[in-house]
Structure 1
Amino acid sequence: MRVIAFIGLGTMGAPMAANLVKAGFDVVGYNRSRPAVENLVAAGGRAASSVAEAVASAEVAVTMLPDSPDVEAVALGPDGLLAHLPAGALYVDMSSINPAVAVALAAAGAQRDVEVLDAPVSGGEPGARSASLSIMVGGTAEAFARAEPLFAALGTTIVHVGPAGAGQTVKAANQLLVGGHLALLAEAILLLEAAGVAPEGALRVLAGGLAGSTVLDRKSGAMLARSFAPSFRADLHAKDLRIVADLARRSSLVLPTVSTAAQLMNAVVARGNGDLDHAAVLTVVELLSGREPTP
């Protein structure tokens, strides 16, 4: 497994593709915006001018795209990835999409003798850059074994969680947990500030107890500083929470926190701040409390 086609060189995809180059893979990149492809070439990769060109001689194709329709548009159809990827190759979708779409992609791949894995990630841009992502993988055990060298170049926690679609289901659960933590962290910060307690020290001691979490460690600084440069955009998290809500509905589950987290994240997007980091949920909580949000 030496030649990897990587499609989608955005905030997450660009550093992931660069890490594959560093690991010794021959990476052929394609992205709708040309500067991203040129950056990969500067890092030692190769450029393709189309999806078909990128995958034509690849042993593995990887997609890292924003949403289910984007993945379907790239993977399916006469000009799509599956139509041009050689038989016997492996297709690894690392986007965060609806599990039902992941199952459909696996079925479409099987018709063309292409094994498909859904392998969404957690860790945001910092994890993508440091190759320390958590990778949750759905698909066959055989395909997972084939992809392990690729995953090892991108992450540190790599788990085969079940059949096709299982990776995306685990990612949905991840996004529910993160969304809930972000909302609670925002409320805790406002509670501390309103009571006149210095939040920096308070959050430091909270992080050392049962309330501690990766979300608190990584996002409290941005919230306290009201600095929301995106490592994971709010509009993408809002999309992921819609997937969670859809899964809950299909399973006839009552998950009230899904609704709360989704409404708060949707409000960030509705205010025109979808391109900010998802920690900007603090601004909505401020607004609900009658305080002037920043931004």
Structure 2
Amino acid sequence: MNVGFVGAGRMGRPMVARLVAAGHTVCALARTDQAHTELAAIGAITATSVIEVAWAAEVVLVCVFTDEQVREICLDGPLLEELPRGALIVVHTTGSPATATAVAATARDRGIGVVDAPVSGGPHDIAAGTLTVFLGGAESDVATARAVVRAYADPVLHVGPLGAGQRVKLVNNILFAAQIGLVADAVRLGAQLGLPEPALLAALPHASSGGRAIASIAARGSVDEFRSTVGEFLRKDIAVANELTAALGADLGLLGPAVRAGVAPIVPADPIA
């Protein structure tokens, strides 16, 4: 399949590599000489503009950092005007469901489909082909998207209509941040009980309290070190989730304080004598 790619950075570049290895023809946007060299080295055709990416694409994958960048590319730029009729836009960026809806409303008049497809995982999951992708959209569009993203993703989950992928991902990230907050408080409690953080984190992943969050934190050696790795991405997504829940009048319940603890620095505790 002819695939266009916008946003070939930390997450996007290994996606491009897997797409090329799966036999797709990939035209990726390269804004710097270094990006051009790196993308060409993994077998991609490089483009210097979104127009070049769009010309012959059957599917365009958008994997930029923010919701604002998605709107800039899909609504303010020339992408929709240049894409062939019948093409599909797949938005990997985590953001507001309203953005996917806005892009789809404009794209529909040109016969272009849109699927929101936020992801869970990192570059190592992409390299292994085990990234999780939440797809939101019509059945026919999801089928086309699945044929492409399965090059680097398993499982690929159709979770509902357009926008549902973003909603699932935002709930996921709220829960993940809450879990970080619980681990941070567990570390604080451990300090009060005279337990060093490294010893506690080495033990807990093997017990009934174990899970993906605590295992990831333990691999980094401390809660604060883990936050420094995921904080930029997580804070961005939590801000979007807070805006969405406020707009809908939703209630985070017990998740609220745990999320706040998850994105805040640890306050050292006095150990019990």
Q: Secondary structure at the match of 2:34?
A: helix
| Correspondence 1:255 to 2:252 | yes
Greater relative contact order structure (CA < 8 Å, 6+ sep): 2
Alignment of 1:103-142 (within 5 A): 103-142=101-140
Q: Secondary structure at the match of 2:204?
A: helix
Aligned pairs, how many? 270
After TM superposition, the score normalised by the length of structure 2 is: 0.89
Distance (Å, rounded) in 2 between the aligned partners of 1:229 and 1:241: 14
Q: Is the 8 A contact 2:184 2:223 kept in 1?
A: no
Distance (Å, rounded) in 1 between the aligned partners of 2:195 and 2:268: 18
Q: CA deviation at 1:44?
A: 0.9
Q: Against the structure 1 CA distance between its residues 35 and 264, is the aligned structure 2 distance closer, same or farther, given a 3 Å change threshold?
A: farther
Q: CA deviation at 1:222?
A: 0.9
User: Structure 1, residues 263-288: CA drift from partner, whole Å, max 9, x if none?
Assistant: 45665xxxxxxxxxxxxxxxx11xx3
Letter in 2 for 1:62: L
1:45 corresponding residue in structure 2: 44
1:274 corresponding residue in structure 2: none
Q: Is the 8 A contact 1:126 1:231 kept in 2?
A: no
Distance (Å, rounded) in 2 between the aligned partners of 1:198 and 1:266: 21
Consecutive aligned runs of 4 or more in structure 1 exceeding 6 Å deviation: none
| Correspondence 1:161 to 2:159 | yes
Match of 2:146 among 124, 145, 148: 148
Distance (Å, rounded) in 2 between the aligned partners of 1:236 and 1:197: 30
Runs of 5+ unmatched residues, structure 1: 268-283
Distance (Å, rounded) in 2 between the aligned partners of 1:133 and 1:188: 29
Structure 1 stretch 125-134 or stretch 7-16: which is displaced more?
Answer: 125-134
User: Structure 1, residues 12-55: CA drift from partner, whole Å, max 9, x if none?
Assistant: 11111111111111111114444223211111111000011111
Q: Is the 8 A contact 2:217 2:226 kept in 1?
A: no
Q: Is the 8 A contact 1:3 1:25 kept in 2?
A: yes
User: Structure 1, residues 218-258: CA drift from partner, whole Å, max 9, x if none?
Assistant: 222214396459754x1221111111112211221221455
Alignment of 1:182-261 (within 5 A): 182-197=180-195, 199=197, 202-203=200-201, 205-224=203-222, 227=225, 232=230, 234-257=231-254, 259-260=256-257
2:56 corresponding residue in structure 1: 57
User: What percentage of residue pairs aligned between the two structures are identical?
Assistant: 31
1:173 corresponding residue in structure 2: 171
Q: Against the structure 1 CA distance between its residues 62 and 266, is the aligned structure 2 distance closer, same or farther, given a 3 Å change threshold?
A: same
Letter in 2 for 1:175: N
Letter in 1 for 2:180: L
